[in-house]
Amino acid sequence: MPAVQTSRFFAEHTLIAGVDEAGRGPLAGPVCAAAVILDPARPIAGIDDSKKLSPARRERLEPLIREQALAWSVAWASAEEIDQINILQATLLAMRRAVESLQIRPERVLIDGNRCPELDIAAEAIVGGDGSVPAIGAASILAKVARDRFMVELDAECPGYGFAKHKGYPTREHLDALARLGPCRWHRLSFAPLSKARSSAR
């Protein structure tokens, strides 16, 4: 996808925050969102959609983004919130929290995907934005690295599920562990594999 032209979305020198999330698809753990305002005077080479980058590359870029961005933030919506309001609304909630946590208020927000959270700042959703807008790509990297680290830590708290390996996604290993152990407090009980298992156990 071609790079987004600055003039299409905002005037030159406008403070732009890019926003993206990680963790919509897993069966366990929170969803994570990040917001980043990049510094035009300090470009960071190699930023792209986090899904296109190796874990090692993401780990190298993450501290550069934190150090060289004008502002950044990472925010979360818990598994309990996901069950209460559904994954879409929880994702939008995490995105809103990320934008509101920025130490610098942006003048415009560009969000990966086709939905925008409710904000009091002008916002636009861009499908494929994580691969075409550097600020969104940077946000995708921060969100992915933060969530992966959280799931590695969660693996020590809840051994047996393999969270450090699959990060909560519905792999065969994860589904087999669920069949053996049942859900832990970090599982999203509203998601189909878990809600079906609960129904069949009644």
Was 112 annotated as part of a binding site?
A: yes
Distance CA 160, CA 178 (A): 9
Locate 33 and state its tokens: 């969102």
Was 120 annotated as part of a binding site?
A: no
Please answer whether residues 76 and 94 qualify as being in contact, where contact means their C-beta atoms are separated by less than 8 angstroms.
yes
108-112, strands of its sheet edge to edge: 71-77, 31-37, 16-22, 108-112, 122-126
- Angle ∠(59,62,65) on CA atoms, nearest 5: 155
Q: Which residues contact 30 (CB under 8 A, 6 or more apart)?
A: 23, 76, 77, 78, 79, 82, 94, 147, 150
Closest of 73, 117, 123, 116 to residue 98, by C-alpha: 73
Distance CA 160, CA 101 (A): 34
Was 48 annotated as part of a binding site?
A: no
Q: Known binding site for a divalent metal cation: residues?
A: 20-21, 112
